């Protein structure tokens, strides 16, 4: 893990700005707090993207956006196929070695499980934040970071979706790691080596809500990249359509791996509708036909709760109202918001577990109803709620970590708060690192405690930050802020690697010579199997075949540069040899690490 020296700010100075009390009960959650002041919504929006970097899994993390995170669970690249069999196994594991690459993606929350349902929800929500407020990330000076996160999540959803030769979904690795095992210890992901099994979806044993949620996330990614990277957008749309068909043609509710965490019910039509809406918006599907009427979305379909990872009708209504202007969708949102006690200036809505996230989801409804009128009661009520979350509350806490003057430090996040000498969350350690941009649950109807083991208050998750992005993007559009201030925080925060460049939205790589013949380890002007062999020889017997070896056919410095195709800039490994072999077998189309 890389740690960059920033003399402009010390860790001690940082800790001095936050409340370090181990447990501060608060019981006035629903009462009137101090008058809300304007916040810098552009700064908060840009900061919130770093939470996704804090939960990144796989390679490309070391020397990445955060100084305190490093590559982790890299052995997901050699995960066991497990009990998968038949035609699905032949697609997933064509060489029959029993291994499959499911590395990458995002951890779900303060734990280290990867759930495709919440990754899909987060991507769809991030896409909504831009769709509802076009250009907001550009105005916040973080469009490159926004695209980087969208690509990181979309790459993983496509990587874990296995298409057969006809382009149909043969299998989906929808969850990686067993929650019971993962939750049994408190260590950062970089040092973990525990077994991480795959939970599969197949045509005969599907989960339609998960499949359609993934389709929605990829549809949102296709929207985000439609202008900046049309080729990548088309790829996302291809997978979105395949997953949507998979979910609706092979209906099922397999909750293996998710039942104790994100158990789905038998209804999937809300996720289906959101996926259809995204595909229609990008011109890849017909207009969805469902129009709600007093909590009925057709066929008695209704989720009965707020917009969340498995209840997305309200997201559908917001998307369709934005796309069509059909008043039926707005009327339905008014009914939904009133049914959840509304959002009023002076009273914080504390409806349920992880209140900050639920409140932000309700803000989406209110801002959509407001129709761009910053002075409407709906917009003002939503703004007051967000200001409460950002620190204008009785405690003075910002529940977006790193924003404002003080925020919770006893957080439930093993990467940022690994404890010392075997400490666990029960021991209530203070966080070693500030997890900039992480939205925690915050105050609920029973109060608040800044305690690492009270995860309803101090944990965050992908869905939390997805909902926050929607609410904050609306607030930034309607009420503004100074988009220039966050660059100073990025430059001074010890946890943020301000040398990292997000570029056009892809993970950045060292400068490369585009005239180089990638994979040509022996520099003979061709890419053949002997290039992969030389890479392995140079690693296995460096005294003979290394750069300074004795053999006349040893690898040269130019050969090393040519062969560094898997994780360019990191030096050659056996993964480079495997990448060259994959190219020769036509499994991948290019060895150029800069190719999309």
Q: What is the pLDDT of residues 104-122, one digit of tens each?
A: 999 999 999 999 999 999 9
Q: With a threshold of 0.85, does the pTM exceed it? A: no
Higher pLDDT, 140 or 572: 140
Using one digit for the tens of pLDDT, what is the confidence trace for 129-142? Answer: 999 999 999 999 99
**Angle at CA 198, nearest 5°, toward 192 and 200?**
160
CA distance 182 to 170: 28
Local confidence band at 529 (pLDDT 50, 70, 90 cut-offs): confident
CA distance 31 to 90: 59
The CA distances from residue 208 to 185, 215, 267, 569, in Å, are 32, 10, 8, 40
Using one digit for the tens of pLDDT, what is the confidence trace for 155-193? Answer: 999 999 999 999 999 999 999 999 999 999 999 999 999
> Where do the H-state alpha helices sit in 16-115?
41-48, 50-54, 86-92
Is a pLDDT exceeding 60 seen at residue 596? no
11-288+297-422+442-483 is a CATH 1.50.10.10 domain: yes
Query: What's the per-residue H, E or C state across 382-451?
Result: HHHHHHHHCCCCCCCCCCECCCCCCCCCCCCCCCCCCCCCCCCHHHCCCCCCCCCCCECCCCECCECCCC
Question: Which residues 6+ apart lie within 8 Å of 52 measured at CB?
Answer: 106, 122, 149, 152, 153, 462, 465
Which pLDDT belongs to residue 265? 85
Which pLDDT belongs to residue 74? 98
Write the Ramachandran bin of 580: left for phi over 0, alpha for psi from -120 to 50, otherwise beta.
Answer: alpha
Query: Is 394 in contact with 387 (CB distance < 8 Å)?
Result: no
Of the listed ranges 144-158, 239-253, 313-327, 569-583, the least confidently predicted one is 569-583
CA distance 378 to 286: 32
Is a pLDDT exceeding 70 seen at residue 12? no
- Number of other CB atoms surrounding residue 489 within 10 Å: 17
Q: Name the token pair of 68.
A: 């305190």
Using one digit for the tens of pLDDT, what is the confidence trace for 315-367? Answer: 999 999 999 999 999 999 999 999 999 999 999 999 888 999 999 999 999 99
Which pLDDT belongs to residue 37? 60
Is a pLDDT exceeding 50 seen at residue 494? yes
Query: Is 535 in contact with 576 (CB distance < 8 Å)?
Result: yes
Is a pLDDT exceeding 80 seen at residue 30? no
Which pLDDT belongs to residue 476? 98
Using one digit for the tens of pLDDT, what is the confidence trace for 252-275? Answer: 999 999 998 998 988 999 999 999
Is a pLDDT exceeding 70 seen at residue 11? no
Positive or negative CA dihedral for 506, 507, 510, 513?
negative
- Number of other CB atoms surrounding residue 83 within 10 Å: 9
Percentage of the chain modeled with pLDDT above 70 = 91
Tell me which H or E stretch contains 170: strand 169-176
Which pLDDT belongs to residue 15? 30
Query: Is 292 in contact with 321 (CB distance < 8 Å)?
Result: no
Nearest to 460, CA basis, from 401, 403, 384:
401
Which pLDDT belongs to residue 524? 84
CA distance 557 to 492: 37
Percentage of the chain modeled with pLDDT above 90 = 77
Q: Which CATH architecture has domain 513-596?
A: Orthogonal Bundle (1.10)
Is a pLDDT exceeding 80 seen at residue 36? no
Alpha carbons within 13 A on the beta-carbon side of 301: 19
Q: Name the token pair of 503.
A: 């570029």
Considering the chain, tell me which residue range(s) the CATH 1.50.10.10 domain(s) occupy.
11-288+297-422+442-483
Q: Name the token pair of 282.
A: 């990008």
Positive or negative CA dihedral for 395, 398, 401, 403?
negative
Is a pLDDT exceeding 90 seen at residue 3? no
Which residue bears the tokens 């940022």?
416
Question: Average model confidence (pLDDT) for the chain?
Answer: 90
CA distance 145 to 133: 17
Q: Name the token pair of 337.
A: 């918001």
Q: Give the long-range contacts of residues 382-385, CB within 8 A, separation 24 or more.
A: 382/343, 382/471, 382/474, 382/475, 383/36, 383/475, 383/478, 383/479, 384/36, 384/343, 384/344, 384/345, 384/346, 385/343, 385/348, 385/349, 385/359, 385/360
Considering the chain, tell me which residue range(s) the CATH 1.10.1330.10 domain(s) occupy.
513-596
Mean pLDDT across the stretch 562-584? 84
Is a pLDDT exceeding 50 seen at residue 126? yes
Which pLDDT belongs to residue 595? 56
Which pLDDT belongs to residue 254? 96
Mean pLDDT across the stretch 43-56? 98
- Number of other CB atoms surrounding residue 427 within 10 Å: 13
Alpha carbons within 13 A on the beta-carbon side of 323: 21
Is a pLDDT exceeding 60 seen at residue 510? no
- Residue 56 sits at φ, ψ, to 5 deg, of -65, 145
Which pLDDT belongs to residue 24? 43
Is a pLDDT exceeding 90 seen at residue 591? no
Query: Is 522 in contact with 559 (CB distance < 8 Å)?
Result: yes
Query: Is 404 in contact with 425 (CB distance < 8 Å)?
Result: no
- Residue 170 sits at φ, ψ, to 5 deg, of -95, -30
CA distance 218 to 93: 24
Which pLDDT belongs to residue 504? 44
Query: Is 209 in contact with 241 (CB distance < 8 Å)?
Result: no
Is a pLDDT exceeding 90 seen at residue 473? yes
DSSP state of 199: E
Query: Is 84 in contact with 162 (CB distance < 8 Å)?
Result: no
Local confidence band at 515 (pLDDT 50, 70, 90 cut-offs): low
Which pLDDT belongs to residue 505? 40
Is a pLDDT exceeding 80 seen at residue 545? yes
The most distant pair of C-alpha atoms in the chain lies apart, rounded to whole Å, by 80
CA distance 447 to 445: 6
Local confidence band at 507 (pLDDT 50, 70, 90 cut-offs): very low
Which pLDDT belongs to residue 116? 98
Using one digit for the tens of pLDDT, what is the confidence trace for 56-87? Answer: 999 999 999 999 999 999 999 999 999 899 99
Local confidence band at 511 (pLDDT 50, 70, 90 cut-offs): very low
Positive or negative CA dihedral for 413, 354, 103, 141?
negative
Local confidence band at 589 (pLDDT 50, 70, 90 cut-offs): confident
Using one digit for the tens of pLDDT, what is the confidence trace for 364-419? Answer: 999 999 999 999 999 999 999 999 999 999 999 999 999 999 999 999 999 999 99
DSSP state of 309: T
Angle separating helix axes 116-132 and 313-324, nearest 10 degrees:
30
Question: Which residues 6+ apart lie within 8 Å of 220 measured at CB?
Answer: 123, 124, 125, 126, 127, 128, 131, 150, 278
Paired residues of 169 in beta bridges? 163
Question: Which residues 6+ apart lie within 8 Å of 309 measured at CB?
Answer: 117, 118, 121, 213, 262, 463
């Amino acid at each position: 893990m890389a740690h960059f020296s920033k003399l402009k700010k010390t860790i001690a100075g940082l800790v001095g700005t936050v409340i370090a009390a181990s447990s501060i009960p608060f019981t006035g959650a629903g009462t009137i707090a101090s008058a809300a002041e304007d916040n810098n919504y552009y700064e908060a929006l840009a900061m919130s993207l770093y939470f996704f970097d804090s939960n990144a899994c796989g390679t490309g993390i070391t020397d990445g956006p955060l100084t305190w995170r490093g590559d982790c669970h890299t052995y997901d690249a050699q995960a066991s196929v497990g009990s998968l069999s038949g035609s699905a196994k032949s697609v997933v594991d064509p060489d029959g070695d029993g291994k499959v690459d499911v590395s990458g993606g995002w951890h779900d929350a303060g734990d280290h499980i990867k759930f495709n349902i919440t990754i899909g929800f987060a991507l769809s929500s991030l896409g909504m934040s831009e769709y509802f407020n076009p250009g907001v990330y550009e105005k916040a000076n973080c469009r490159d970071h926004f695209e980087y996160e969208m690509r990181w999540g979309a790459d993983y959803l496509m990587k874990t979706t296995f298409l057969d030769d006809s382009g149909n979904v043969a299998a989906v690795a929808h969850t990686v790691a067993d929650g019971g095992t993962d939750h049994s210890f408190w260590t950062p992901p970089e040092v973990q080596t525990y077994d991480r099994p795959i939970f599969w979806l197949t045509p005969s044993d599907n989960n339609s809500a998960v499949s359609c949620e993934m389709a929605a996330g990829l549809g949102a990614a296709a929207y985000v990249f439609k202008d900046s990277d049309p080729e990548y957008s088309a790829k996302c749309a291809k997978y979105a359509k395949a997953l949507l068909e998979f979910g609706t043609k092979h209906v099922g509710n397999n909750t293996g791996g998710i039942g104790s965490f994100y158990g789905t019910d038998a209804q999937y039509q809300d996720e289906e509708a959101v996926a259809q809406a995204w595909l229609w918006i990008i011109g890849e599907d017909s207009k969805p036909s469902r129009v709600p009427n007093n909590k009925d979305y057709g066929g008695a379909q209704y989720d009965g709760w707020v917009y969340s990872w498995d209840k997305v009708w309200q997201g559908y209504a917001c998307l369709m109202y934005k796309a069509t202007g059909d008043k039926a969708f707005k009327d339905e949102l008014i009914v939904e918001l009133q049914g959840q006690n509304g959002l009023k200036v002076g009273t914080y809505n504390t409806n349920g577990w992880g209140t900050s996230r639920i409140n932000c989801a309700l803000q989406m409804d209110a801002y959509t109803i407001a129709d761009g009128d910053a002075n409407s009661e709906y917009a003002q009520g939503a703004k007051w709620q967000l200001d409460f979350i950002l620190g204008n509350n009785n405690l003075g806490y910002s529940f977006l970590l790193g924003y404002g003057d003080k925020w919770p430090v006893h957080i439930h996040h093993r990467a940022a708060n690994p404890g010392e000498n075997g400490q666990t969350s029960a021991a209530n350690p203070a966080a070693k690192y500030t997890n900039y941009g992480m939205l925690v649950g915050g105050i609920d109807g029973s109060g608040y405690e800044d305690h690492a083991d009270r995860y309803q208050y101090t944990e965050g998750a992908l869905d939390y930050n997805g909902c926050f992005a929607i609410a904050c993007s609306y607030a930034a559009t309607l009420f503004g802020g100074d988009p220039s201030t966050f660059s100073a925080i990025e430059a001074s925060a010890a946890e943020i690697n301000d040398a990292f460049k997000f570029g056009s939205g892809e993970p950045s790589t060292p400068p490369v010579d585009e005239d180089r013949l990638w994979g040509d380890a022996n520099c003979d002007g061709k890419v053949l199997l002997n290039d992969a062999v030389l890479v392995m020889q140079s690693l296995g017997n460096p005294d003979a075949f290394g750069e300074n070896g004795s053999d006349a056919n040893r690898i040269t410095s130019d050969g090393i540069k040519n062969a560094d195709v898997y994780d360019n800039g990191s030096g050659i490994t056996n993964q480079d040899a495997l990448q060259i072999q994959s190219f020769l077998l036509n499994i991948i189309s290019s060895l150029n690490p800069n190719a999309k």
